[in-house]
Amino acid sequence: MPERRRGITRRHVIAGFFILIGLLLLVAYVPQLGAEKVAISKIAFGVPGPVIALPTALSQLLIALIYLAAGALALLPRTQTAGTWLLWLSAVLLFPAILIWVAQGKQTNGVTMVSETLRLGTPIALGALAGIYAERSGVVNIAIEGMMLTGAAFGFAAYVATGNIWLGVFAAVILGGLIALLHGMLSITFKIDQIISGTVINILAIGVTGYMRRQYILPRVAAIQAESTGQSLATLPEFSIPFLSNIPIIGPVFFEGKPLFFTMLVLVVLTHVVLFHTRWGLRTRAVGENPRAADTVGINVSRTRYVNIAISGMIAGLGGAWLSLEKVGNFDDGMTAGKGFIALAAMIFGKWTPFGSFGGAMLFGFSEALGIRFQILKVELFGGPVPTQFLQMLPYVLTIIVLAGLIGRSVGPAAAGKPYEK
């Protein structure tokens, strides 16, 4: 029999992480048990909606005991199955534990937090879907950042030029697709290294969009605001789906929002159906895994990759439109702020699947929503307010933790990044 591998495994790392969190909770909340005034955390579910009042210290200590038990059982060889279930429970309990901490002595709205998570995770989810289409067909697409930035700039430029915000969304989608075709031409036709091609496009997008902002967008916006006495430009309208939006808790989260948020939810489901339940999806996955075998049975490898990279760019452009047309109603230099790269991390987290990538995107969306909630409630840490800079770092730190600590090495489509010679 082969010798069993020894040493520290990822399971040990995760178990140790929850043991450490459990110990920190014990140190932080055991002294509060003897306090004269018991701190209460109030969590609301909707506006209006029920409010749950929890004793902060007792709730956190209960969660700490679960963390310690999960970590201990996961480390013991004969109790790994029970430890695995407790580790999953511990992962789920991270969210209420954070909410209870944030709401200590105050009140926060759990439904609003989930809603903010979904909306702030929208561009990351769209970027992750863009990466799936490209990499499932065998093209590594680190140019998602540049495609999103191009879509944001040209979409907003089209809006201020025409006054029609929907034309702006259309322009963002088209420009994202066009710059993706440039990436396709370099990597598929000319067989340039796909990482270099994507890097070149990211740098090109920074220069082109910065020039457009200074030379056209800023003067045009100033002229529009002068004509409208300083009134800011509009964003995409918010609406709710009749009847469904009235469902308690779920309704405000999934059935109230802006158009690109709903488009993202539809694209997640549609991408899953296309990839795993259609002939086109089967051909795409075949080209991404074994292009020579796909070519042998009559699949046009280059055409399949071109179509998928164009779809990838259009979805990334839609993510850029979310930033400039749905969120802020403006365009700033580098406003994507690394979201394209975080989207790649979400895609890897989700194992190149739509629903898994959506979950990864929402994890990063939660970290951004948490930073906003910290500032609103003025949460304190070690006797002082949490610095804004640390809150801004949260999504990027979480990216490192998830990829290096929890996911580690992940194997994507076999032919991704390899030019195909017919």
| Residue 232: per-residue pLDDT | 66
Measure Cα distances from 354 to 91, 259, 272, 351, 403 in Å.
21, 20, 6, 9, 18
142 and 272 part of one domain: yes
Burial of 50 (0-12, 13-18, 19+ CB in 10 A): exposed
* DSSP states of 26-81: HHHHGGGGG-SS--EEEEE-SSS--EEEEEHHHHHHHHHHHHHHHHHHHHSGGGHH
Give the pairing of strands 384-385 and 107-109.
Answer: unpaired
| Residue 399: per-residue pLDDT | 67
State the CATH number of the domain containing residue 330. Answer: 1.10.3470
N-to-C CA span, the chain: 43
| Residue 323: per-residue pLDDT | 95
270 and 297 part of one domain: yes
| Residue 319: per-residue pLDDT | 96
Residue 412 lies in a domain: no
Residue 59 lies in a domain: yes
Its pTM stands at 0.90
166 and 98 part of one domain: no
The type of residue at 352 is W
Alpha-carbon distance of 14 to 16, in angstroms, equals 5
Give the pairing of strands 380-381 and 51-55.
Answer: unpaired
Per-residue DSSP letter, 249: T
User: What total of structural domains would you count in the chain?
Assistant: 2
What's the domain range around 31?
Answer: 10-105
43 and 124 part of one domain: no
187 and 61 part of one domain: no
- Token pair, residue 130, equals 């863009």
| Residue 144: per-residue pLDDT | 97
Residues of the chain with pLDDT under 70: 1-7, 78-80, 83, 229-232, 380-384, 391, 398-410
The residue among 207, 199, 353 whose CA lies nearest residue 275 is 353
Residue 413 lies in a domain: no
The residue among 252, 268, 271, 250 whose CA lies nearest residue 260 is 268
